[in-house]
Structure 1
């Protein structure tokens, strides 16, 4: 079977912490999760064809990324890759989700102009078809080996990037702790080494980092059960008391009810405000001061580790690098 668009990608379910070594005893891979747009890339079956770029929802958007189309000559025919679209802001010197959104909405001349200012990169994390032969039934470990061989054999360079992967739980824990300080990296993906690629199925686990801080809630708008805005003050060692007002997404909206462990934030009380990096520091949840961040592992990882399959692709044209 030859894969063609529209194609439904495999999905991930959200989790709040890294599973323990016992849960992952059968073997796993951890990949860095970038804050971009999911995309499926199709190269032509033969000469004269063109590269196609499909979104998660099935829309074709290759006309909005002419820089990727121009670089398609590096890729062999009959190839299908699953990955993440990201954009590098040359002025800011970092990945930019806002610039990616602008590029995704651009057409014609605007798309070409934006490509020069904010170049796009395709971070590949799965190989679904090679030489016209689909690989969905192959285990993840085999598909990953073929993907790494594709990059080395064809000496692929920017804008094609190999997603960093490790089978070392300690390394995955380190990524979640430190790499998420980098703009554009929001967490990790956990994938069983033996898993097949199942379109539409949530067989992977995604873990996003969320930072917490002590805050004093002074007032809210909306109701206590469904607050809309928090007026809060946070005390820091260097800046003293910092005041802010930010939209608040109630736990009831995410889970259908307020968990008993997360009481409503009454005005004038202390608690922890959890801010998502992708939302630019916007408060998205609140927990009492006795709680610890839900996403953080409860203990250091234990057990044997295996050598990580590492990749270091440097984007010479933009100065960005992932290791």
Structure 2
């Protein structure tokens, strides 16, 4: 490759803030855009040569051949873009939304599997920053200038997501340009609406700032919720010893409509002193796995649809995922951002014990259900007719 910006490049990062920031408090103002829930990806293109790299500079090219081909067809001849890889799925209501678990499945060592998945669950690429175009590097230029050049270079992609095709979401593969706004009120509406399409929140970028590699110069606004969950087990910390046992994570459960205790995720991130205290505090709850609601799951040798504790997948890379079962008698409140299927998308945050709650009362019905929203609408620029009314997907 012969580009003004070459790999490896570590992408610009964001720091969390509590709400949509006021553009007036930032010199030059802010640009807002949807926060995608996919794989961060730097795309390098020099003619027919295309490379995809991850946030940690690892190669992604071989896993997404359909994105490589789309980049060859749809992107400028020589460019470096910052963006996100995603997979769109279709809900029971026929509305397209992001499917992170389907995206995870795309990272597979077998070439035959990669080829098959590129056809059955094709990924798309959404661009949201420009690092280089032709012979010019843009990393030192303010975002306002980078965005203007990116819009001009990708103008031919406008409205692509709303194009007609075979089935819902047919226009969501290939390459796209993220929509933006400088209106904080509009960004707040996006924050409230776009979660229904599987998005993760809103990103704010200072319009006057250059592209700072690996620097947290952007702001991210993510959803924050709480839930009362059942404590069902624990895993020891990797530094735990027989002389000083330390908690690694708490395994969490919620009851489904049939009363079955389902695994919904873990809570972790405790100080070392608290890890030791919790091991002592929870010792009286330890029980035999045969007497535990999840005892039958120990017979699984590989990952299963519910991603139950103790089972392996290619993502676990052979790690010891065994757990210590605890009698499901205690309830705790945790913080979480959003759900992926029936589980917390990210590690939950311990808030407090809830001795006033009965474990049997902790079900999925307490969780906030985002209003359904069409991913096609998220990708389509304002003023472009998509053929579907976002109000119809509510």
When normalised by structure 1's length, the TM-score is: 0.72
Equivalence for 1:79: 79
Residue equivalent to 2:31:
29
Q: Partners of 2:193 and 2:332 in 1: how far apart?
A: 25
Distance 1:28 1:2 in 2: 27
Q: Structure 1 stretch 12-21 or stretch 127-136: which is displaced more?
A: 12-21
Cα deviation, 1:166-205, whole Å, max 9, x if unaligned, reads: 111112222222211322x011111101000011211111
Are 1:118 and 2:139 an aligned pair?
no
1:171 aligns with 2:190: no
Moved more, 170-179 or 14-23: 14-23
Match of 1:69 in 2: 68
Distance apart, 1:12 and its partner CA: 1.5
Query: For residues 266 and 106 of structure 2, what CA distance do their matches in structure 1 show?
Result: 29
| Pairing partner for 2:225 from 203, 211, 221 | 211
Q: What residue is the counterpart of 1:180 in the other structure?
A: 195
Kept in 2: contact 1:64–1:107 (CA 8 A) = no
Identify if the C-alpha distance between structure 1 residues 230 and 118 changes in structure 2 by more than 3 Å, giving closer, same or farther: closer
Shift of the alpha carbon at 1:147? 1.1
Matched residues in 1 for 2:104 and 2:229: separation?
A: 34
- 3-state SS of the aligned residue for 1:7? coil
Structure 1 residues 122, 216: CA separation in 2 closer, same or farther (over 3 Å shift)?
closer
Moved more, 82-91 or 195-204: 82-91
- Secondary structure of 2:6's match? coil
Determine if contact 1:250/1:285 at 8 Å carries over to the other structure: yes
Residues 110/198 of structure 1: CA separation in 2 closer, same or farther (3 Å cut)? same
Which among 205, 225, 228 is matched to residue 191 of structure 1? 205
Structure 1 residues not aligned, in runs of 5+? 259-264, 290-309, 317-323
1:101 paired to 2:104: yes
**Cα deviations across residues 197-220 of structure 1 (Å, max 9, x unaligned)?**
01121111122213224x376777
| Partners of 2:203 and 2:213 in 1: CA distance | 17
- Tell me, in whole angstroms, the C-alpha distance in 2 between the residues paired with 1:314 and 1:84: 24
Partners of 2:109 and 2:159 in 1: CA distance: 27
* Structure 2: runs of 5 or more not aligned: 161-172, 237-245, 275-280, 283-327, 354-379, 388-394
Q: 249, 256, 262: which one pairs with 2:267?
A: 249
1:221 deviation in Å? 5.0
Post-superposition shift, 1:222?
7.4
1:292 corresponds to: none
Provide the rounded CA distance (Å) in 1 between the counterparts of 2:223 and 2:49: 38
Distance 1:216 1:97 in 2: 23
1:50 and 2:120 aligned:
no
Tell me which moved more, 189-198 or 3-12.
3-12
**Could you report, residue by residue, the CA deviation over 1:108-141 in whole angstroms, capped at 9, with x for unpaired residues?**
3322211111111001000111112111111101
Q: Which has the higher strand share?
A: 1
> Match of 1:89?
89
Q: Deviations over 1:228-282 (max 9, x none)?
A: 4366779xxxx8x9966644424526xx888xxxxxx999898743233255533
Q: Partner of 1:319 in structure 2?
A: none
**Secondary structure class of the residue paired with 1:105:** coil
Q: Name the residue aligned to 1:137.
A: 140
Report if the CA contact (8 A) 1:212-1:274 is conserved. Answer: yes
Change (3 A) 1:114 1:242: closer
Aligned to 1:287: 351
Q: Secondary structure in 2 aligned to 1:103? A: coil
Greater Rg by CA: 2
> Is the contact between residue 65 and residue 120 of structure 1 (CA under 8 Å) also seen in structure 2?
yes
1:273-315 residue CA offsets vs partner (Å, 9 max, x unmatched)? 32332555337124369xxxxxxxxxxxxxxxxxxxx826899
**C-alpha separation between the residues in 2 aligned to 1:202 and 1:75?**
27
In 1, Cα distance between equivalents of 2:386 and 2:20: 30
